[in-house]
Amino acid sequence: MKRIFKVILMVLFTCFSFYYTDRIVEFSKSKDPIMQKINEYKESEEVALVNGVLSKDTMLVGSNGYSIDVDSSYEKMKKLNSFNANLLEYLEVVPEIRKEDNLDKLIEGKNTSSKIISFIFVVEDIAKLDEIAYILENNDVFATFFIDGVLIENNLKTINTYFNSGNSLGLYGYNFKYDSVSIKYINGVIERNITNYSNYCLYKNKEFLDSCVYLKYNTIQPIDIDKNLYEYMKNNKKNGYIYNIKVNDLNIRELNSTIVYLKQKGYDIVDLSVLLKE
């Protein structure tokens, strides 16, 4: 019995010693100027994650957060015995509600307070694509264009010149078909021939949504603007949302002034891949 009691005491003493030693080490680290500097950066440099928002049929995409990996950063700097901000290690913190887990939801935009939005265009006439791309380039902004697969195939060389940087080309069916076979086919054509392509579908109907879910693509549901583009964006703009600007002469005439106005108000107009990045 005494022997068992001694063994228990030894085990408890050993555990206590480890615990005490660990606490001493942690206390010493906390007083180290390197660690104190890391903790200062931790408070100011961390980016809080923003969760996605779900409703019955739609969602707003969230954003990843970033925090400083204090222990890893400390170990790297301690070897040099000095603080160096370039050696800080970061940890990525992902939202609980993610777009990849909600393919059946229609994405309306991003859950953000930042002044960032996306424009998309459904193009049925290559000449209109040229007009719009010219305006965007002159204003140094980018957009996503959705074009039927047949039009893409018939104009591959011309179309690729518009999508080698900034702007991206999106899925919009093939010969007005929206089944998984047609979408998979034209997506393969896009990936093989177009430099910048978007892996988002534009909602057309339930069949199209189901096909995109099957192929593991998210589907967007933008706000449609048929006319009075400038007036609409002046009075109804929402941070983080996607706007489908109908391709017609009225909207094209107002596109330049609308972009200029939005930029003056501090808005960034970006491609879908930038807006919806988590």
What's the domain count of the chain?
Answer: 2
Residue 3 pLDDT level (bands cut at 50, 70, 90): low
- In terms of phi and psi (left: phi > 0; alpha: psi -120 to 50; beta: otherwise), the region of 93 is beta
Q: Residues 255, 201: one domain?
A: yes
Q: Cβ contacts of residue 54 below 8 Å, gap of 6+?
A: 97, 102, 105
Q: Lowest mean pLDDT: which of 13-22, 71-80, 179-188, 207-216? A: 13-22
Measured between alpha carbons, how far apart are the two ends of the chain, in Å? 62
pLDDT in tens, 113-128: 999 999 999 999 988 9
Percentage of the chain beyond pLDDT 70 is: 88
Of the pLDDT bands very low, low, confident and very high (cuts 50, 70, 90), residue 72 is: confident
Predicted confidence band of residue 223 (pLDDT cuts 50, 70, 90): very high
Tell me which H or E stretch contains 189: helix 180-193
**pLDDT tens for residues 90-114?**
888 888 999 999 999 999 999 999 9
In this structure, is residue 157 part of a structural domain?
yes
Same domain, 130 and 113: yes
Partners of 106 in the beta sheet? 58, 219
175 and 249: one domain?
Answer: yes
- Whether the pLDDT of residue 232 is over 60: the answer is yes
The whole-angstrom separation of Cα 206 and Cα 223 is 18
Instruction: Please check whether residues 91 and 216 belong to one and the same domain.
Output: no
pLDDT tens for residues 21-47?
444 444 455 567 777 777 777 766 677
For the beta carbon of residue 211, count every other beta carbon within 10 angstroms.
24
Residues 57 and 133 both lie in one domain: no
Tell me if 8 is assigned to some domain.
Answer: no
Q: Are residues 90 and 176 in the same domain?
A: no
Mean pLDDT of the chain: 85
Asked if residue 112 lies in contact with residue 50, where contact means CB atoms within 8 angstroms, the answer is yes
Which of 71, 97, 123 represents a domain boundary (last residue)?
97
* Same structural domain, 230 and 159: yes
Instruction: Judge whether 174 and 186 are in contact, CB under 8 Å.
Output: yes
Q: What pLDDT score was predicted for residue 18?
A: 42
Residue 110 lies in a domain: yes
Measuring CA to CA, which residue among 58, 89, 102, 86 is closest to residue 278? 102
Whether 54 is covered by a domain: the verdict is: yes
> Residue 80 sits in which domain range?
30-97
250 Cβ neighbours under 8 A, 6+ residues apart: 227, 228, 229
